[in-house]
């Protein structure tokens, strides 16, 4: 039985609370605080128990707690413990650093759910926070669904992000945006959520803005847009257990020689999964080896600058010299590093998704942690094009009226493609050649000259040459290309340069020569050309009947193998920032795309021929025999035929009509029809349009 007077208990409690304000814990990082105090509540965790910071979480959580880092963006997938890191950071800031926090969720119901499932349970299960919340579990003015006022007089607000009023009359030290990609882009016509929220930090000594989310749709995803403003884009790297090469883990895909791979059992289910190393030509490692490697060697490295950190407290340049922490940093982390799932589960999830557009979008956003490109499922895959390959009856199919070519200039080679064209710009891939060497060397240019004059056999037995070439003059060899244009004919070999701007014509052939090079340097609207090509790749054949714009590929690996088709389908649309505006641009993401570029140039060549030199593909297509669907070959006149001289005269071929005036205005500079061995202009077949 206690002999103390009843009032002494209240006195002791009052003294304890008074002295608590004088107590200060030794300085700790956010990770140290979480590992010591934080607890995973059963209502909001896969497993209840003491928190242990995973290797990939260390730098992110410490960045949230580091006062020298003002802005933290986290682009993440599901199952990486991001919400728990936020809660640990909240507890650390309220109890250890004594800061006011303002947290925004996309909607008011989201904010209420965050308070009930995460904040209230954290206060209940973390003793150092419960000691600051005597009102816990009671109705009290300091304990509402919108805000918590702790005993140390620090506030934690959790509000919905849709209403502009929620961004007013708050004085936080830190603003947090959970699932930023789900916020409205414009809050009641007052501006973006991050601008409105961060405005509340202006009077704070230790300003902090934390934005995190699974990504959304490309161009609309706010967390990705916020990340673009950061010069530090950090990805988690480990040293591969198989070879020790440092790398960031990637999804890869079925046609990539790296990434997550798996095998299926007899029932078609995933029986095992492993990672195929990107560096050591076939080396592999498994999930448990990755976890151990992350513990020992894991660090975040910036894609853009090479700076790196293991814990966000110490930062280093690419040459390992120490530097101050950046003011703004972006982290990207995805499920492959998670300790809450397995690689076999990720592979099984991908198999379940299949080609379902809605499921694939969810997989890309929440498992890969990447933005969803809207045209991702609309674009034809190279596998689909491979299935569409066909056997040509001749090197040049019967419906092909003219040939044009494109040449792509690289630092160590020239890549050439020849495309055939019929009515409605129906097209056929005819020829591919890659010439390796110094692009400025006389020998390589001699070989290119031979290829320029190559003849091809059409199904009717006639010979065809390339009507017009477009040659890439960008890069380091522009003068070489322009010199070749002068040598082979300024109307026949046209130097071009690309313009990645929507609205530009596919080929803007100038009316006058460029004074410096004395060539018709032509601007090619590459983005518009690629738009046309990718739209046409989706067209399907209709038996053997002509289809306007249809693209044909030969079943010949020497011309059209898997690599050719992968290059043709290598690009996707991505949002980029140009002069302060977000615009869509075609991007190959470091994949090879020479085949696509050559197709663009060949398309530009046929457009130049149609728009400036009078080529009429439809008129040529009208000459097709409606029964055989092959080109008519005029018969030789036979004066001894039974029908007499009059009918024989009718059978004689008509004189070709005159070439367009513009073509006559400046003839080829090499007029001889028989070129020398190293170049010259050849005849282009018997058809008058090819003269």
Q: What is the pLDDT of residues 153-170, one digit of tens each?
A: 999 999 999 999 999 999
DSSP secondary structure code for residue 338 in this structure: -
Choice among 420-434, 490-504, 621-635 with the minimum mean pLDDT: 621-635
The CA distance from 440 to 414, in Å, is 10
The CA distance from 594 to 415, in Å, is 7
Side-chain-facing half-sphere of 609: CA atoms under 13 Å: 26
Percent of the chain with pLDDT over 70: 86
Q: What is the pLDDT of residues 368-394, one digit of tens each?
A: 999 887 654 456 788 889 999 999 999
Three-state DSSP string of 382-450: HHHHHHCCECCCCCECCCCCEEEEEEEECCCEEEEEEEEECHHHCEEEEEEEEEECCCCCHHHHHHHHH
φ and ψ at residue 231, rounded to 5 degrees: -85, -5
- Residue 416's nearest CA partner among 602, 605, 557 is 602
Q: How far is CA 358 from CA 131, 361, 617, in A?
A: 47, 5, 42
Banded model confidence at residue 675, pLDDT cuts 50, 70, 90? very low
Radius of gyration of the chain (CA): 34
CA angle at 24 for the pair 21 and 25, rounded to the nearest 5°: 140
The CA distance from 375 to 372, in Å, is 9
φ and ψ at residue 529, rounded to 5 degrees: -65, -45
Give the H or E element holding residue 204. Answer: none
Banded model confidence at residue 2, pLDDT cuts 50, 70, 90? low
Percent of the chain with pLDDT over 90: 64
The CA distance from 568 to 533, in Å, is 9
| Pair of tokens at residue 105 | 């969720």
Choice among 163-172, 295-304, 469-478 with the minimum mean pLDDT: 469-478
The pLDDT value given to residue 75 = 96
Side-chain-facing half-sphere of 400: CA atoms under 13 Å: 34
Give the H or E element holding residue 38. Answer: none
Q: Which residues pair with 89 in a beta bridge?
A: none
Residue with tokens 């884009």: 233
Residues contacting 360, CB < 8 A, separation 6+: 353, 354, 376, 377
List active site positions. 179
Diameter over CA atoms, the chain:
143
Helices (H), 259-305: 287-297
| Pair of tokens at residue 371 | 């933005």
Asked if residues 485 and 457 have their Cβ atoms less than 8 Å apart, the reply is no
Kindly report the pTM of this predicted structure: 0.62
Side-chain-facing half-sphere of 226: CA atoms under 13 Å: 32
Q: What is the pLDDT of residues 644-660, one digit of tens each?
A: 444 443 444 344 343 33
- Where do the domains of the chain lie, and which CATH numbers do they carry? 385-622 (3.30.420)
DSSP secondary structure code for residue 199 in this structure: G
DSSP secondary structure code for residue 102 in this structure: E
């Amino acid at each position: 039985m206690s002999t103390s007077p009843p009032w002494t208990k209240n006195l002791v409690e009052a003294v304890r609370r008074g002295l608590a304000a004088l107590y200060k814990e030794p300085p700790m990082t956010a990770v140290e605080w979480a590992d010591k105090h934080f607890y995973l509540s059963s209502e909001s965790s896969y497993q209840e128990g003491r928190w242990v910071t995973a290797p990939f979480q260390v730098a992110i959580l410490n960045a949230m707690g580091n006062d020298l880092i003002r802005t933290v963006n986290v682009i993440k997938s599901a199952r990486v413990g991001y919400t728990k890191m936020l809660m640990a950071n909240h507890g650390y800031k309220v109890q250890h650093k004594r800061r006011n926090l303002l947290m925004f969720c996309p909607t008011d119901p989201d904010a209420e759910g965050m308070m009930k499932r995460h904040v209230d349970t954290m206060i209940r299960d973390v003793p150092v926070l419960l000691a600051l919340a005597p009102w816990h579990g009671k109705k009290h003015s300091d304990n509402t669904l919108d805000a918590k006022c702790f005993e140390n007089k620090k506030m934690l607000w959790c509000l919905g992000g849709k209403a502009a009023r929620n961004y007013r009359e708050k004085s936080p030290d830190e603003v947090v945006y959970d699932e930023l990609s789900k916020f409205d882009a414009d809050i009641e016509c007052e501006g973006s959520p991050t601008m409105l929220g961060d405005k509340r930090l202006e009077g704070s000594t230790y300003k902090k803005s934390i934005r995190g989310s699974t990504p959304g749709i490309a161009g609309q995803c706010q967390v990705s847009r916020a990340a673009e403003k950061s010069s530090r884009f950090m990805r988690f790297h480990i040293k591969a257990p198989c070879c020790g090469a440092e790398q960031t883990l990637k999804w890869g895909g079925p046609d990539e020689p790296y990434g997550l791979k798996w095998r299926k059992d007899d029932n078609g289910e995933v029986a095992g999964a492993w990672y195929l190393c990107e560096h050591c030509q076939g080396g592999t490692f498994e999930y448990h080896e990755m976890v151990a490697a992350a513990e020992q060697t894991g660090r975040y490295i910036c894609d853009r600058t090479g700076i790196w950190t293991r814990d966000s407290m110490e930062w280093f340049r690419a040459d390992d010299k120490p530097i101050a922490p950046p003011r703004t940093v972006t982290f990207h982390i995805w499920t492959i590093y998670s300790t809450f799932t397995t690689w076999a589960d990720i592979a099984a999830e991908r198999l379940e998704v299949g080609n379902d557009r809605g499921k694939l979008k969810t997989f890309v956003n929440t498992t890969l942690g990447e933005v969803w490109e809207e045209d991702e499922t609309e674009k034809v895959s190279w596998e689909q094009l491979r299935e569409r390959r066909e056997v040509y009856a001749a090197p040049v199919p019967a419906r092909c009226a003219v040939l044009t070519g494109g040449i792509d200039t690289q630092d160590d080679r020239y890549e050439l493609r020849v495309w055939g064209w019929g009515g409605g710009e129906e097209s056929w891939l005819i020829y591919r050649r890659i010439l390796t060497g110094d692009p400025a060397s006389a020998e390589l240019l001699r070989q290119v000259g031979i290829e320029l004059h190559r003849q091809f056999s059409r199904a009717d037995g006639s010979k065809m040459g390339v009507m017009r070439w477009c040659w890439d003059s960008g890069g380091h060899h522009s003068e070489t290309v322009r010199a070749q244009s002068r040598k082979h004919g300024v109307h026949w070999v046209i130097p071009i340069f690309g313009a990645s701007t929507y609205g530009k014509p596919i080929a803007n052939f100038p009316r006058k020569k460029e004074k410096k090079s004395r060539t018709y340097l032509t601007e090619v609207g590459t983005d518009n050309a690629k738009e046309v090509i990718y739209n046409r790749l989706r067209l399907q054949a209709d038996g053997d009947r002509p289809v306007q714009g249809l693209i044909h590929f030969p079943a010949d690996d020497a011309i059209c193998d898997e690599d050719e088709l992968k290059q043709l389908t290598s690009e996707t649309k991505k949002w980029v920032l140009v002069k302060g505006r977000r615009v869509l641009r075609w991007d190959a993401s470091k994949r090879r795309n020479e085949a696509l570029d050559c197709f663009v140039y060949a398309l530009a060549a046929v457009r130049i021929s149609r728009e400036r030199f009078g080529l009429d593909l439809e008129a040529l297509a009208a000459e097709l025999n409606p029964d055989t669907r092959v080109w008519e070959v005029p018969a030789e006149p036979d004066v001894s035929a039974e029908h007499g001289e009059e009918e024989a005269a009718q059978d004689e071929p008509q004189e070709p009509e005159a070439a367009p005036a513009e073509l006559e205005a400046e003839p080829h500079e090499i007029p001889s029809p028989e070129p020398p061995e190293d170049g010259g202009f050849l005849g282009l077949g018997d058809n008058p349009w090819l003269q």
